[in-house]
Structure 1
């Protein structure tokens, strides 16, 4: 129940209480670790970081208008691949900031990078693939951006850069998990 209440609060936060930003800009979401985020050691456990990133994503998608566009087109955003690196535990009642940014867009999905920081230290980083699922299959983020006239310069990670190499490993992981070749 607490998860749903928090989601509604974050949707309202993104819609009404922070300045609107363009879809492809960095988005910052601030919060505090609650009793619902921790395990018996009073630290955020592994799944808690995923939930924190998801709450930030709800606020972001509402702020930039993506949630409205997707709901009008009856498209569901689904996290289809995720990598998380936890560097330092967050403790109960500790304040933190999540910075979210779309770092790559292609026909298969939006690739979103989340950085969770607290007291100027990076506590966790997440890279995920956000696939758009429609009634008739997977929807193309590139086509969606074209239809909505949101074709700013789409972020694209180049091979040979640190981000591009990370995405190549991400594709290799997806290829392995699906047992079929996927190329960057």
Structure 2
């Protein structure tokens, strides 16, 4: 399901370019007539008003939908972590992905690292299984955290980081894995 939502997110983002251009054309050809678009004045074709609102709802509705999906992913991750905490996993360091679809938690007392998703579920690594880690810039404002493991079934784990979290995450992981 996660991949389907990612496909919809990409399709919506790519669709924003032609929809935005069409919205600009509609606004320009109507003469920037804001009272008309708000329904306070009449005189132009109602199809233009409906087209304007459909295009605006494409932007607003897509943004709202994907923020709700992001919130549901975050809630599901918190429930999953709470389940592991009930089993004795108490993370001192937690890293959530940019769109809350992936998670890393490090419990220093039990020397375990929880990674989600690995396949379709979460996976607990021992800290000595983590061979190396790195944060790579991907594009202009995106970063990816990669963990290389000694587990042959799961050689790597990665997640997208928020730009604001890069320095803090790097410092915390350096403090954990440098000892």
Tell me the TM-score normalized by structure 1: 0.27
Structure with the bigger percentage of strand = 1
Rg larger in 1 or in 2?
Answer: 2
Bigger RCO (CA 8 Å, 6+ sep): 1
Question: TM-score, normalised to structure 2's length?
Answer: 0.28
Higher helix share: 2
